Structure 1
């Protein structure tokens, strides 16, 4: 086994920090009802999921808006990806938007699954995850051009809470199906 490179060690630090953030946000938010108590009805649950989903969606809107702004002011990129290869700058902006799109889609599914399937007292986790998602995207955008170590915390601050939420919901549902 070879030793980890400097880049790999930097990414590993970001991953470790992201894992800590995920546990604090998801399980801390599930056990400490910061924003509740909530009414235990479908309308409240859907309102929480929808409201929380707005934050990641705004991140995607921002990422797409950056591409549109860049294209408008740069003749080499104005015709779009289907008609030009794109400058390095627009390629970077598209990479940011693509990753944001992937993260948003997964987060929205996680938020809705959590609010519909988890106990009412755990719903603060969704609100916290959405707030951390925005902070993570800011870190990801700011660090992206400096390489993997600089963007790893931003990536994991978005991805790990989402993944932990989905895994927790899956385990809870499976245990209910298996053990009633």
Structure 2
């Protein structure tokens, strides 16, 4: 977890200070919203993938075709549902934070958003790959996803207060 926090902190800081210095030439509210929307779409890919994979599994698995509300669910369906649930939670939180950060941050710091989306994306890959193998193998992926969002959240709180 500490390694993930350090990686997220360094990567987000680098994204905030490295060129281009001005991500928004006109720096309008619409540009900021559009900038955040691009990276919210990037992270939403994982939510789309998780929903699709679980739906596909249920469609082709007779024991799961009726859905989790009507069946006990196979072990595979339970894992896919857990990954989907966590991805939904992470995506909603990140989308809210990305929008807040885009609205509050100086335009030269907005490079942190594509970095956060990249960390989120990589974190989801590692989380999904490690989920079936237990807490240890999925922890780093969770941490990359979560702490990149937490650090942007803390920056947004700071920016909102100053």
| TM-score range normalised by the length of the shorter chain | over 0.9
Q: Deviation at 1:26?
A: 1.9
Which SS does the other structure have where 1:83 is aligned?
A: coil
Of 36, 41, 53, the residue aligned with 2:40 is 53
Distance 1:103 1:37 in 2: 25
Match of 2:126 in 1: 139
Of 136, 145, 152, the residue aligned with 1:158 is 145
| Count of aligned residue pairs for this structure pair | 161
Distance 1:28 1:93 in 2: 34
- Alignment pair present for 1:42 and 2:15: no
Of 4, 21, 27, the residue aligned with 2:7 is 21
Q: Which runs of 5+ in 2 are unaligned?
A: none
TM-score by structure 1 length? 0.85
Match of 1:98 in 2: 85
The answer as to whether partners of 1:25 and 1:128 remain within 8 angstroms in 2 is yes
Q: Deviation at 1:53?
A: 0.2
Of the structure 1 ranges 29-38 and 49-58, higher mean CA displacement relative to structure 2 is found in: 29-38
Q: Which runs of 5+ in 1 are unaligned?
A: 1-14
Q: Deviation at 1:163?
A: 0.4
Task: State the Cα RMSD in Å.
Answer: 1.3
Distance 1:86 1:36 in 2: 50
Larger Rg: 1
The answer as to whether partners of 2:101 and 2:153 remain within 8 angstroms in 1 is yes
- CA shift digits 1:112-136 (9 cap, x unpaired): 0010011000111011111111111
